[in-house]
Amino acid sequence: MIGYANEGWELAKGWLLSPAAWSQFALLIVAYLLAVYVSRKVNPVLTRLLTPEAENQSVFAKARRFVAIFLPLVMPVLAFAFTAAGEGVVRSIFDSGAVIAFGKRVFLFLAARILVRDIVRDPFLGLLGKFFIVPAAALYALGMLPFVASKLEETVVPLGNLSFNLLWLIQFAVVGGFIFWLGQWSNSQSSTYLDKQEMRPATKQLAVKAAEIAIFGFAFLVLMNIMGISLTSLAVLGGAVGVGLGFGLQKIASNFISGVILLLEGQATVGDYVELDGGEAGTIVKMTARATFLETFDGRWIVVPNEDFITTRVTNYSDQGSANRYEVPFSVHYDTDINKVPDIIEAAVSKHPAVLQDPEAPDCELRALGDSGIEFAVEFWVNGIDDGKNKFTSEVLFIVWNALKDNGIEIPYPHRVLEIKGKLPQ
């Protein structure tokens, strides 16, 4: 460190005593002031040009908004450009430009810092810029980037029969992280686009999954190609994965294939209310490669392996549409004229706003001659699912009660006859 400090002092002393260095310092100051002046004049104009109306959501408007994000870079980029022009003039006159070249690198460092601090909003890209991009720009500004890169390249990390140098690992982390972030962004954009298309939910889910696999598969191939990794070297890894699938990962492979079958056949998709043979019931809110997520009426999520949808019996209440039939049982007294009951109940239930007349109007049926009363049940169709017999069934029960009371029909309750043999006690 003392040696580097001495070299820095000698360099600074040489710059301070050199007329060429003073002229370069002057050009740096002029370039900076000119960049500040031009940016203050240009930024308002660019802001007006790149800010469309709030209700404009076209592709061109979105592109303008995206470009406007980078307006804070105008000043350091202009300073870099003006300094580069001044460097050409200085080198032609003095055949030296170390000072102005250093200033140009400093402006580039400022641009990188502004980009990471003020422009990047994604947490992962911000982390990448904070720990890799800004330090690399700082080393470049100080002229130490080649030295540090050579030291990192000389430092080899052994990993069994393989070995990597630190520079390669850093490059792999930066490039790989950016490529897979770009893949994640592309996947979200494609999912948003596919969600807006008119197609069956199962087909839409399959298209989203296919696009996701294609995007990340392509990102993986691009990363391998950029880093110079031969795909043939992955054959051993592929064989190991195949053995793992054959032994320890059978369930994962089975669930993945079952998920693909579900998406292809469309027997259950997002938004359907299903009930499995094991008792699990709920609305499908999410389908992944491994499992399907059901949301119950009380807000809980049930994770069901995809294999269960293939190997067990599944009742899909939403497969043929949103209409479902329910029934409400009730009883009347034996003194009732039961011929009037169906017309009274059917007319009353039909007035409920959620009860449908198609595919069938409310139907009141005589079910049994019970011990305490005559048993009836009214069947009705509604759109949607009765959440645990607490929504439509409850409302129709109120209607039945009020209709019977309004018509003077008694609802029975159990009666018991007590027979006493012999004389009653005194």
The answer on 327 and 305 residing in a single domain is no
The answer on 378 and 270 residing in a single domain is no
Both tokens assigned to 366: 């005589």
Q: What pLDDT does 295 receive?
A: 85
Answer whether residue 353 is part of any domain.
yes
The answer on 45 and 174 residing in a single domain is no
Q: What is the pLDDT of residues 78-136, one digit of tens each?
A: 888 888 877 777 667 666 667 777 788 888 888 888 888 888 887 877 888 888 888 88
Residue 354 pLDDT greater than 80, yes or no:
yes
The answer on 212 and 107 residing in a single domain is no
Residues of the chain with pLDDT > 70, as a percent, come to 82
- Looking at 190, 216, 246, which one is the last position of a domain? 246
Answer whether residue 292 is part of any domain.
yes
Helices 166-195 and 145-154, packing angle to 10 deg = 100
The answer on 392 and 294 residing in a single domain is no
The answer on 67 and 41 residing in a single domain is yes
User: Where in the sequence is the domain holding 311, given as residue range(s)?
Assistant: 266-316
Whole-angstrom distance, CA of residue 259 vs CA of residue 69: 41
- Do 178 and 128 form a contact (C-beta atoms < 8 A)? yes
Answer whether residue 411 is part of any domain.
no
Which of 32-46, 85-99, 228-242, 409-423 has the highest mean predicted lDDT (pLDDT)?
32-46
Other C-beta atoms closer than 10 Å to the C-beta of 421 total 4
The answer on 122 and 53 residing in a single domain is yes
- Do 212 and 278 form a contact (C-beta atoms < 8 A)? no
CATH number of the domain enclosing 307: 2.30.30.60
Higher-scoring residue by pLDDT: 97, 305: 305
Q: What pLDDT does 152 receive?
A: 81
Q: What letter represents residue 201's amino acid?
A: P
pTM above 0.85, yes or no: no
CATH number of the domain enclosing 335: 3.30.70.100
Both tokens assigned to 91: 């080198």
Number of structural domains the chain divides into: 4
The answer on 124 and 16 residing in a single domain is yes
